[in-house]
Structure 1
């Protein structure tokens, strides 16, 4: 077992052998959520509206359809205003990405170690495919995954389980034998609802007691992940 006070292996539940590992991308492998939050604040200034950090953090893990609905509700029910906020966010995000976008600590090492240990890897990201593939290519991660499932591949985004169910189906593995690696509350809820074993590595949001109870483990970084998965299968 990983010797770390952050690591909380679930208790009282039957251990299920992990056969494949499904990674979220933003905030889990790529340090993009902090960039995204800066971009939302830039968009708010451009629009002359207030988008508190607590509100924009609720976007984490959601797809663009869900984010648009939340924005429209806050902006007086205007879908046009929501679309403009998303457009401005994307402009700011693209500008900030040139200098601020990086891999999360231990990302490459965790992928390499899990592959060396024989685990097939999959990606399940709320980001739409075109942008997801560009981001993976930028960091040379495009070949790390046997399958890539994106936000535009499923009808319902996180916290619905659809994306992880689809990813498990594409890998030919029962979700119960999948490890889902997530940073967000919405992602944890989605993985748990899919019946997967969720390993949370918090980024912008810390786990509540409710969220922690849904996890097989809560870890401080990706560096601890290979050992935590190995312990799960021991």
Structure 2
């Protein structure tokens, strides 16, 4: 029986979330808005930077243009990629051993992320995951950005074109709103609850873990 599992990237396999927060916070400080990096993820994680930064600048009556924000997002991607190349980005705890264990036990592994295509491809090569990650979907491949679920659902569209999809399909994600989106794909959701947040709708979460290491008990020992 085929087994498929799709992983988020930022803050699930990669610690890049802290980089995004820092770059966005620095940009806002240049506009005289002081916001702590750690609060950005809590408030705005499920929206595009263009959208929520535009809204914030408008509320503060600070001059800005669409072109300026598009340029910022483009430069932000370049910054994140440069930090990857400088080894300032790391895998999340237990990520590598968990991926290797899943591969050894017959899982086909995918990545689905709002990150740009260039970063995902370089991330896979940088950490030597070419023989582990079968394929991926990125923000570049969908028309509708956050908060639409298109990038996530497109993962299973790709899968269905290549394989017959069995009932054994899982997704691993760190954000609660993403858990809700994934249920549209009929996948079982594994919520990586690093921050020990409360479930908003318990019925939508099939499994809850606080570390990737806990996946072995769910996906291998009990499967």
Is TM more than 0.5 here?
yes
Aligned pairs for 1:35-54 (under 5 A) are 35-52=19-36, 53-54=38-39
Q: Aligned residue for 1:121?
A: 109
Q: TM-score, normalised by structure 2?
A: 0.80
Please identify, of 74-83 and 30-39, the stretch whose mean Cα deviation from structure 2 is larger.
74-83
Q: Verify the 8 A CA contact 2:21 2:41 in the aligned structure 1.
A: yes
* Separation (CA, whole Å) in 2 of partners of 1:37 and 1:141: 25
Q: Which range is displaced more, 101-110 or 154-163?
A: 154-163
| Structure with more relative contact order (C-alpha pairs < 8 Å, separation 6 or more) | 1
The answer on whether the counterparts of 2:112 and 2:138 sit within 8 Å (CA) in structure 1 is yes
Aligned to 1:182: 173
Q: Give 1:225's match in structure 2, choosing from 189, 205, 215.
A: 215
The answer on 1:198 being equivalent to 2:181 is no
* Match of residue 70, structure 2, among 83, 89, 101: 83
Q: Aligned residue for 1:134? A: 122
Structure 1: distance between partners of 2:117 and 2:166: 22
For 2:205 and 2:216, the matched residues in 1 are separated by 16
| Kept in 2: contact 1:105–1:222 (CA 8 A) | yes
The alpha-carbon distance between structure 1 residues 61 and 74, as it changes in their structure 2 partners (threshold 3 A), is: closer
Q: Structure 1, unaligned stretches of length 5 or more?
A: 1-16
Match of 2:135 among 142, 147, 152: 147
Partner of 1:71: 53
Shift of 1:202: 2.8
Following the alignment from structure 1 to structure 2, what is the Cα–Cα distance between the partners of residues 229 and 169?
Answer: 23
Aligned partner of 1:24 among 8, 13, 18: 8
TM-score, reference length from structure 1:
0.77
Q: Which residue of 1 aligns with 2:61?
A: none
Q: Deviations over 1:54-74 (max 9, x none)?
A: 344344355xxx331121111
Which range moves more in the overlay, 34-43 or 44-53? 44-53
State the secondary structure of the residue aligned to 2:131.
Answer: coil
Unaligned runs of 5+ in 2: 59-63
Shift in alpha-carbon separation, 1:57–1:105, aligned structure 2, 3 A: same
How far apart, CA to CA, are the structure 2 residues paired with 1:87 and 1:128?
Answer: 10
Give the Cα separation in 2 of the matches to 1:94 and 1:48: 26
CA contact (8 A) 1:110 1:222 kept: yes
